[in-house]
Amino acid sequence: MKKLTFLIISFIIILSGFLVIWFGVFNVSAKEKHWDITTKMLEIIRERSIEVRAYDLQIPNLSDPTMISNGAKNFDAMCVQCHLSPLTKPTELNLGLYPQPPIFYKEKHSRHNDKNIFWTIKNGLKLTGMPAWGDFHTDEQIWEMVAFLKQINGISKSEYRQLVGKGGHTHKAGFEHNNDNKAHRHDSDHNDSHGKHKH
């Protein structure tokens, strides 16, 4: 008898789960925010997942000025559409994504240590819109961005401009990009177009 009750209850639970999915009860719209408890749970899952995987990483010297400046160039070329910079106006990507990409030059990210930031840039974050950059960049290039992100909070327009310099960005050797399959550092003209995009 007990066994039968157990089977019936399990069946009802599985069926309700199936019905919740089938009738589309869960709203996947990026405009519908998670409940606070869901956000908290997702944060804990993310933090623990990264912490465990980043634990053994060796941190290079992140105060090296060349590293910081190289990181600024790559950040400016690849990340500002979502994470903005003092020279970028809010973009559709920054405003439309949920969870929203943090604006590093305005917000402090003291909770996240260098290893976790490196891991996140290399691997991306599932279900958030944060891409994985590790297939296209060497670890060194990723550490350069970590080095730059350590300096970005509160950075002024002129400091930012100075670090980015002429711009240009780097990739891993062999990565095919714009029909160019050699490692390259090319001068970019997209710096000039920030904020000028009109509809």
Contact residues for ligand HEC, defined by CB under 6 A: 75, 78-79, 81-83, 93, 97, 99, 101-102, 109, 112, 117, 120-121, 125, 128-131, 133, 145
Residue type, 117: I
Rounded least distance, CB 45 to ligand HEC, Å: 11
Give the nearer residue to ligand HEC in terms of CB position, either 102 or 168: 102
Q: Which is nearer to ligand HEC, 10 or 39 (CB)?
A: 39
Minimum distance from residue 6 beta carbon to ligand HEC (Å): 39
Dihedral through CA 73, CA 169, CA 166, CA 104, nearest 10? -20
Q: Which is nearer to ligand HEC, 117 or 147 (CB)?
A: 117
The beta-strand segments (E) located in the chain are 169-170, 185-186
Closest contact distance (angstroms) between CB of 93 and ligand HEC is 5
Residue type for 178, please?
A: N
Where helices occur in the chain by DSSP H, the ranges are 2-22, 36-54, 65-78, 80-83, 92-96, 114-123, 139-149, 157-164
